[in-house]
Amino acid sequence: QVQLQESGPGLVKPSETLSLTCAVSGYSISSGYYWGWIRQPPGKGLEWIGSIYHSGSTYYNPSLKSRVTISVDTSKNQFSLKLSSVTAADTAVYYCARAMIVAPGYFDYWGQGTLVTVSS
């Protein structure tokens, strides 16, 4: 059974960089699929942030691209998110998920999510 678990600071100061890691178990990242980050501000809808392949190939949401870096560590079977210059608008629950990037393109396994609050 594929399992994903997000980890990282729950509080980040404005203008700093948000950093999260997603540990994958039950499936080797190197075996295929893309791996993605999705966020959800409190009481609002879902927003895709970006996705990465085990080779390091990445695709980002154009609205966040200038601030986002997603990386992968196949030796640890995990991938990470960095979001720079955060503001209160970046406060959200951040989910990691396995992404099927071949059409129809969907997320079939999700982590439980982690709340990140941006506040001084």
Partner 1 sequence: DIQMTQSPSSLSASVGDRVTITCQASQDISNYLNWYQQKPGKAPKLLIYDASNLETGVPSRFSGSGSGTDFTFTISSLQPEDIATYYCQQYDNLIFTFGPGTKVDIK
Instruction: Please tell me what DSSP assigns to residue 17.
Output: -
The answer to whether 105 contacts partner 1 (rule: CB under 8 A) is yes
What angle is formed at CA 74 by the lines to CA 102 and CA 25, rounded to 5 degrees? Answer: 80
Binds partner 1 by CB under 8 A, chosen from 15, 28, 74, 112? 112
11-19, 71-79, 82-90, 108-116 -> range binding partner 1 (CB under 8 A): 108-116
- Give CA separation, 8 vs 17, 47, 73, 117, in Å: 12, 19, 16, 11
* CB 108 to partner 1: min, Å: 5
The side-by-side arrangement of strands in the sheet containing 3-7 is 3-7, 18-25, 78-83, 68-73
Q: Which of residues 56-95 bind partner 1 (CB under 8 A)?
A: 59, 61-62, 95
- Distance CA(104)–CA(47), nearest Å, equals 17
Q: Which of residues 39-58 bind partner 1 (CB under 8 A)?
A: 45-48, 51
User: Using CB under 8 A as the criterion, which residues of the chain lie in contact with partner 1 when the complex forms?
Assistant: 36, 38, 45-48, 51, 59, 61-62, 95, 97, 99-101, 103-108, 110-113
